[in-house]
A and B are shown apart, each in its own frame.
Chain A
């Protein structure tokens, strides 16, 4: 049957055309496609790897950032605490100083008052003495003359009076 006998003309053209197709495709066709697909596969793999590494780095950086932040917060707390303590100390010192100053001032004032008082007393005494002498002089001049004994007695009496007062 002619179905099973290969026709020579068709055989010839088949060999020619299949040969040409195979030659062209095996040079400019499939190797290029296959190579391109493999290259792209490699490229995708590399990209994925790079992305993974970048992610890792990012995670590292984030952790580092968090650590630095925590450190900074700690330092801030420490500084705040120190500042607070210093403030307290300064306040305390100021208070103490103020207290001491006040005491000194009070003492000074007291001392001065005492001095003024004594001075005043002295002045008053001498005044009074002078007055008394003058009075006594006048009295004695009138009644008796100026007598040393009488002056002494008067002075003694005056002392008694002034000491009792102070």
Chain B
């Protein structure tokens, strides 16, 4: 017992000593925190892993583009490295399309082609989808093989989560009558967001892509929820929007309440979209900024940099735990709010 304690202290001291060397190496470069943070939370055409001896190690990703002049084109991203141009395609350094793939057309203008590249986020999305399919289909397969049995281990965890969402979120919010037709969608949304969030927290390949912190992803999810709310809504729901149960002077001659209600249709899914996007993006930014603290303080002398390194590591651990909670919480909130919006649309009388 005493030995373990002693070893622990020795370990911590060694770690601190090691940490004090880390910043020294980075001292030579000027750190642009904003650039680091933004480049990590935004999409990129290659999957950057690390830099080793001045050489960048990254996984080249396929680029699929269609331009008006050249038609379809397919190549790997390492051709565009360091602002290189390939088939007149290059990554814009600044301007309107900064960071995006652009084409220099025959008139010398910078135009944006139709860009279906498998970027870092797309690949991260694919990995997460693959993992999600694997987990859920394996669980379903287990149930087919073992009828009337109670699963243990990982499948047990999946079952607990599914039953919790099913009973406490979907059934509770939508009601016994209609819940079954939405349960698959809401469960898919929950697990999709959860697994993408969790993959985002893992700092190394194949995790680390800021998928759910990207507005395109949350936009699609919110649009699906928008469709689920409005497309299958009963007549009473639309009546409540265009002719709400309010005093007549609020409806005629100026339709104030109908207008407010109509805007409400869109604000609900937009709120969902922004909430998920902002939470995950902010989480990623904070962790990245705290990590950058190590390198910023490197030039401030050994004592300050060691102290700040320690603080940064402690905060990073704390924030990562926080992000783990947020990952589950945001998936839960998105599902719960979607379910309750659907439930509201169903129970307009």
Contact = CB atoms under 8 A, between A and B. Distances in A.
A2 B99 contact: yes
Interface stretch (A16-24, A60-68, A88-96, A124-132): A16-24
B216 A11 contact: yes
B192 A21 contact: yes
Contacts of B150: 40
B188 A14 contact: no
B220 interface: yes
Nearest to A47: B148
B220 A5 contact: no
Contact of B140 (A4, A17, A20, A29): A29
Contact of B143 (A7, A14, A32): A32
Interface centre among A3, A5, A15, A29 (most CB of B within 10 A): A29
Interface in B5-38: 38
Given A10-B119, A33-B139, A33-B159, A21 B184 contact: no
A43 interface: yes
Prevailing SS type, chain A contact patch: helix
Nearest to A11: B216
A28 interface: yes
Interface in A13-60: 13-15, 17-18, 20-22, 24-26, 28-34, 36-37, 39-40, 43
A12 interface: yes
Contacts of B43: 7, 10
Given A7-B216, A17-B125, A28 B162 contact: no
A: contact size bracket: 20 to 34
B136 interface: yes
B215 A33 contact: no
Contacts of A7: 43, 100, 115, 119, 214, 216
Given A7-B43, A32-B140, A39 B119 contact: no
B221 A18 contact: yes
Contacts of A25: 132-133, 136-137, 184, 187-188, 191
Contacts of B42: 2-3
Contacts of A12: 116
A32 B147 CA distance: 11
Nearest to A32: B140
B319 interface: no
Given A9-B115, A28-B140, A18 B159 contact: no
A9 B63 CA distance: 10
A37 B133 CA distance: 19
Interface string B117-134: 111011001100100110
Contacts of B250: none
A112 B188 CA distance: 126
Contact of B119 (A9, A36, A40): A9
Contacts of B184: 22, 25-26, 29-31
Chain B CB within 10 Å, residue with most, of A5, A9, A22: A9
Contact of B115 (A2, A8, A29): A8
B144 interface: yes
Nearest to B99: A2
Contacts of A13: 116, 118, 122, 125-126
Contacts of B117: 9
Contact of B219 (A11, A30, A31, A33): A11
A2 B188 contact: no
Contacts of B100: 2, 7
Contact of B162 (A9, A11, A14, A34): A34
Contacts of A33: 136, 139-140, 143, 158-159, 162
Given A6-B219, A10-B214, A26 B125 contact: no
B281 to A, nearest CB: 7
Contacts of A6: 214-216, 219
A17 B196 CA distance: 13
Contacts of B122: 9-10, 13
Contact of A36 (B41, B143, B188, B281): B143
Contact of A4 (B98, B143, B188, B215): B215
The 3 closest A-B pairs by CB, nearest first: A36-B143, A26-B184, A6-B216
Given A3-B41, A10-B217, A37-B159, 17 more contacts: A2-B98, A2-B100, A3-B38, A3-B281, A5-B215, A11-B216, A13-B126, A17-B129, A22-B224, A25-B187, A26-B184, A29-B136, A29-B137, A30-B187, A32-B143, A33-B143, A40-B150
7 contacts: A2-B99, A7-B100, A13-B122, A20-B129, A21-B133, A22-B188, A30-B140
Interface of A: 2-15, 17-18, 20-22, 24-26, 28-34, 36-37, 39-40, 43
